Amino acid sequence: MDIVYRRATPTEVRAGLEQILSGGGGGGALRPKIDEFLQFADRRGIDLGQMWIADLNGAVVWAVLPVVSPGKSMLLMAPNNYTSTAALRPVATQLVENVCADAKSRGDTQLAQVLIDPHDQEPQEVFAAAGFTRLAELVYLQVNVRRRGARNSGPTLPAGLRWQTYSAATHDAFARAILASYQNSLDCPGLNGVRDIEDIIAGHKATGEFDPKLWFLLTQGDQPHGVLLLSRLPRVDTAELVYVGLAPEARGKGLGNVIMQHALDTLAREGLSRLSLAVDSTNTPALHLYYRHGMQRLGSRVAMLRILEA
C-alpha cells in the first residue's frame, strides 16, 4: 500500500473523527456523534489541527488525535476496532510512531498515553508495537453525593489536624504532600519518578475546571499528611476526584475515611450531585475505601504509556 502519514487538513477532520469514533475499518459514525464531539472539542479547547491521518490514495484509512495537556502529557484518541485487514496493523503502528516522534521533536510533551477497552486486544498489541507499555487497568467509579451524604455524616477530623486550601502560599506544601504520598503507593506506581512535580501539579490543574477552594491539604502543624484534589467537570453537575493521597506515616489511621467524607460534604455544599474517579484496579485498599463510601463501578480502561523523553 502507498500510504502517506501526515497531518489532517481541515476538510479531512470529519473523516478522521469517523475513523476514531466509529472504531475505524469502515462502518462510519453517525453525523450527530461527530457533531457532538466537535462541540465538545470546542468547549475543551482541543486542537483538531493536531490530528494525524494515514492517507491511502486520498482516503483516510486510520487516524490519531493527540490531546495535549499542561504538564507535558498527551492522550491519544484512536480507533479501537479497526483491523478489518491485517495490513492495517502496521499502518496504525506507524502512524502512532509518527505522532510520538512529532511530539518529541517539539519538546513540549514527555508522556504519551492511550486508554483502551480491556477486551480489545488488537489495539493493545498495536500500541505495544509502537513502544507503549501497560501502566494499569483503571476502574471508573461514581457516587451520588446527595444520597450518600444524607445517610452518612462521616467521621470528624482528629485533633491536631486541619485542612488548608490551595494558594500560592501553600503551593510548596501541596507539592511536598503529593510527593510524599507516592512513597510505596499502589496507585499506578509505574508513574512514580517519571515527571517533575511542577508538571504533575499543572496536569492536575488542567483536569476539569480548576478551583483552588476544592484543593485541600491535610496538615498537622507544619507537616503535610495528605492531599485531596477535586475538580468540577464542565457543563455537568459532577466533580472528579483528581487525586487523593496520604504520606506513609499517615496511613492506617482511618484518615482515608475522613478525606472521602470531606470530599462528599464539600461537593454537597457546592450543590454538585455526583463524584467520579478512576483508580488502579490493583489498588485494593483504595477500592475498598471507595466502595465503603457508596461508589459504584461504571467500567474500566487499560492505560498504556510511552515516555518520550528522559
> DSSP assignment of 186-254, as one string?
-SSGGGTTTS-HHHHHHHHHTSSB--GGGEEEEEETTEEEEEEEEEEPTTSSEEEEEEEEE-GGGTTSS
Q: CATH number, domain at 52?
A: 3.40.630.30
Per residue in 131-156, pLDDT (tens digit) is 999 999 999 999 999 765 544 455 57
Characterize the bridge pairing of strands 274-280 and 238-246. parallel
The verdict on residue 239 lying in a domain is: yes
The total of structural domains in the chain comes to 2
Q: Are residues 24 and 169 in the same domain?
A: no
Is the confidence at residue 59, as pLDDT, over 70? Answer: yes
Burial class (CB in 10 A: 0-12, 13-18, 19+), 58: exposed
The verdict on residue 309 lying in a domain is: no
The verdict on residue 305 lying in a domain is: no
* pLDDT at residue 25 in the model: 45
Q: Are residues 189 and 274 in the same domain?
A: yes
Q: Are residues 63 and 82 in the same domain?
A: yes
Q: Are residues 147 and 277 in the same domain?
A: yes
The verdict on residue 9 lying in a domain is: yes
Characterize the bridge pairing of strands 111-116 and 73-77. parallel
Q: Are residues 163 and 293 in the same domain?
A: yes
Q: Are residues 213 and 182 in the same domain?
A: yes
The verdict on residue 38 lying in a domain is: yes
The verdict on residue 307 lying in a domain is: no
The verdict on residue 283 lying in a domain is: yes
* pLDDT at residue 2 in the model: 84
Q: Which of 87, 107, 131 is the last residue of a domain?
A: 131
Choose the weakest-confidence range: 192-196, 236-240, 274-278: 192-196
Is the confidence at residue 277, as pLDDT, over 90? Answer: yes
* pLDDT at residue 95 in the model: 95
Taking phi over 0 as left and psi of -120 to 50 as alpha, with beta for the rest, 155 belongs to beta
Residue-number span of the structural domain to which 33 is assigned:
3-131
Choose the weakest-confidence range: 91-105, 154-168, 176-190, 248-262: 176-190
Q: Which of 131, 162, 179 is the last residue of a domain?
A: 131
Q: Which residues contact 30 (CB under 8 A, 6 or more apart)?
A: none
Q: Are residues 9 and 55 in the same domain?
A: yes
* Planar angle of CA 127, 75, 130, nearest 5 degrees: 20
The verdict on residue 277 lying in a domain is: yes
